[in-house]
């Protein structure tokens, strides 16, 4: 079995897994788009061997299937960056909510003492 056949099979299985996770509401649609895009690109590149070899030639890569690993690695970096942005945003929201909760508790405590 060649690496291209294996990558086609994995791309199809991965795409079906992502769609199933969205259907079961285990994965939000906004995050699934990135995974669907990755699966589609992997599928297109794996099915089009001449395209893969052309890209490899242009990039100076001697073994064209190695590009599949490069694409996967670059995708992982993109996902990590995206998740880091999401975590940063959520951290700021948690901090703001914690501050607002502390203010509300303080107001409630001060009003309770005045009664």
Overall domain count for the chain:
1
| Mean of pLDDT over the chain | 87
Q: How far apart are CA 8 and CA 69, in angstroms?
A: 13
| Residue 105: predicted pLDDT | 93
Q: How far apart are CA 69 and CA 65, in angstroms?
A: 7
| Residue 113: predicted pLDDT | 61
| Residue 10: predicted pLDDT | 87
| Residue 90: predicted pLDDT | 95
Q: Is 35 helix (H, G, I), strand (E, B) or coil?
A: helix
| Residue 60: predicted pLDDT | 92
Q: Which residues contact 4 (CB under 8 A, 6 or more apart)?
A: 46, 47, 49, 52, 65
Record the pTM: 0.67
Structural domain that includes position 109:
3-114
Question: What value does the CA radius of gyration of the chain take, rounded to a whole number of Å?
Answer: 23
Query: Taking a C-beta distance cutoff of 8 angstroms, is the pair 42, 71 a contact?
Result: yes
26 phi/psi in degrees, rounded to 5 = -90, -15
- Give the residue ranges of the chain where pLDDT is below 70: 1, 112-115
């Amino acid at each position: 079995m060649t690496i291209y056949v294996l990558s086609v099979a994995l791309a199809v299985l991965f795409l079906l897994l992502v769609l199933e996770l969205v259907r079961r509401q285990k994965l939000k649609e906004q995050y699934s788009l990135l995974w669907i895009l990755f699966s589609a690109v992997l599928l297109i590149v794996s099915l089009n061997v001449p395209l893969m070899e052309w890209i490899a030639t242009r990039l100076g890569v001697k073994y064209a299937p190695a590009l599949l690993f490069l694409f996967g690695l670059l995708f992982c970096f993109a996902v990590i960056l995206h998740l880091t942005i999401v975590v940063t945003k959520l951290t700021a929201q948690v901090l703001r909510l914690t501050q607002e909760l502390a203010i509300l508790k303080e107001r409630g405590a001060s009003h309770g003492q005045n009664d």
